[in-house]
Structure 1
């Protein structure tokens, strides 16, 4: 029987080279203890607090609801405390507004009274110091009411003021061609003056040499007063002759074009008796002192 060589083991098979380092191998292959690994897995499943996730969500919800209830309660209490103060301030503000409105109304009444007084003094001065031409001056200045025959001219927008034409004398970029504008009224009034009218009024507002017809949006301003359609124009003069002369004037022809091309409505009738008010905005641009015992020579 052959003998084993010295230093050889009698076990079957060869041993691992690192058999003598089993402890180090175990440490390398299992660096984390099984107990620690199990604890980490459980913490990940249940959360760091050790509570189930559903329970933690309920706790956070309860905390949020509690904080919301506290905020709402504090706000309600604060609003209830501040309510009397706010109501008092509002009442004081309302009182101040009402007081200011009353003062403004009183000042407006006083202003109107003074304006009427000044206007009356101006009218009286024109009649008293106008000399031989006092009546004519008062008439031309609109200082007195006028009565007499004349014509009544009624002008209104087209029935469908947006259906007018797009060409012609009013084609200036405005879509609404069937609406009476300030320059239309200017041409009409100038036509009446040219036809021989002695006095003219629009919707009760007397026109003078200083009157202005302007526009403010869709409204027409006469003596700075906004007017709306229909426009009633009264002109004192020789009724039948004034009617005929106006129709032949540039203003009458222009008005006929507005009717034919844009549907503007108008009517002219002769009147036996018209009453025009005095101008409410009489202005004296220049004045000279009157010598004692003498009237004006101009």
Structure 2
């Protein structure tokens, strides 16, 4: 207890107390310097600090236009390169259209025979229209409740609530097997060489990304095509996705559906015909 009492009574060390008393007796306030030398030193320090700040501000002011100029030059360069890329993309699209047109013209050189027309339809080289079905497949409602309605930006929902590339593969194969003569997804014509793949959460058709909902159009006998597909294994698979995972689907028969030609039909293997006509 005596130690605690001593600490309480003498909270300030004796040495500090003596130094404070001595400075007080000598009239030292510890504030502004009293001697001329000390005042000159303080003034010189303040002038040096002001000089450093002034020089820094001047350098920043001089460098600002240079930085702004470099930034503007970079923006202009980006704009030029973007415009050049857009022009090249437009040229590519024109060349693709020209190639597609030449391919369609080559199919008609045989005199518009039924075999040539059939080859054009089956290969996707010509646009087609006729009766058929319209099948819409969309992600589950819970998958579009976040990310501003974009299912590719949502999280916290099971992947099974989103339509996958394998689901669309089964849908398309089921339509072909049910008697479809031509099929397209979101306006993209499918051919025997088309590929439905995934890149992350996105579905790609021939390397072009699709955005849900996925609208599948198929040309054929609408009523028979719809019935056969819904009763097929692939149609039942789609129904199971709807029942178990909330995938939204809808199928309807259409009196006339229009499918564009495929952008480009690539010939993998070609051989000259050796058959000779009979007289």
TM-score, normalising length: structure 2: 0.75
Equivalences for residues 99-248 of structure 1 within 5 A: 99-129=80-110, 133-161=115-143, 175-248=158-231
Kindly indicate whether the alpha-carbon contact (under 8 Å) linking 2:96 and 2:264 is maintained by their aligned counterparts in 1.
no
Unaligned runs of 5+ in 1: 1-40, 164-173
Q: Name the Cα RMSD after superposition.
A: 3.1
Higher helix share: 2
Kindly indicate whether the alpha-carbon contact (under 8 Å) linking 1:162 and 1:177 is maintained by their aligned counterparts in 2.
no
Kindly indicate whether the alpha-carbon contact (under 8 Å) linking 2:183 and 2:217 is maintained by their aligned counterparts in 1.
yes
Post-superposition shift, 1:74? 0.2
The residue that corresponds to 2:243 in the other structure is: 260
Post-superposition shift, 1:52? 6.7
**CA distance, structure 2, for counterparts of residue 264 and residue 93 of structure 1:** 46
**CA distance, structure 2, for counterparts of residue 161 and residue 104 of structure 1:** 35
Query: Rg larger in 1 or in 2?
Result: 1
Kindly indicate whether the alpha-carbon contact (under 8 Å) linking 1:156 and 1:264 is maintained by their aligned counterparts in 2.
yes
Paired residue for 2:74, among 93, 103, 121?
Answer: 93
Post-superposition shift, 1:99? 2.3
The residue that corresponds to 1:82 in the other structure is: 63
Q: Give CA-to-partner distance per residue, 1:203-262, whole Å, 9 cap, x none.
A: 111111111111122221112111121111111111111111101111101011111111
Runs of 4+ in 1 over 6 A off after TM superposition: none
Post-superposition shift, 1:65? 4.1
**CA distance, structure 1, for counterparts of residue 131 and residue 144 of structure 2:** 36
Q: In the superposition, relative to structure 1, how do residues 109 and 80 fare at CA in structure 2: closer, same or farther (>3 Å)?
A: same
**CA distance, structure 2, for counterparts of residue 132 and residue 125 of structure 1:** 14
**CA distance, structure 1, for counterparts of residue 67 and residue 161 of structure 2:** 53
Name whichever of 96-105 and 135-144 sits farther off. 96-105
Post-superposition shift, 1:98? 2.5
**CA distance, structure 2, for counterparts of residue 202 and residue 69 of structure 1:** 71
**CA distance, structure 1, for counterparts of residue 199 and residue 66 of structure 2:** 45
**CA distance, structure 1, for counterparts of residue 144 and residue 70 of structure 2:** 50
Q: In the superposition, relative to structure 1, how do residues 86 and 265 fare at CA in structure 2: closer, same or farther (>3 Å)?
A: closer
**CA distance, structure 2, for counterparts of residue 73 and residue 61 of structure 1:** 18
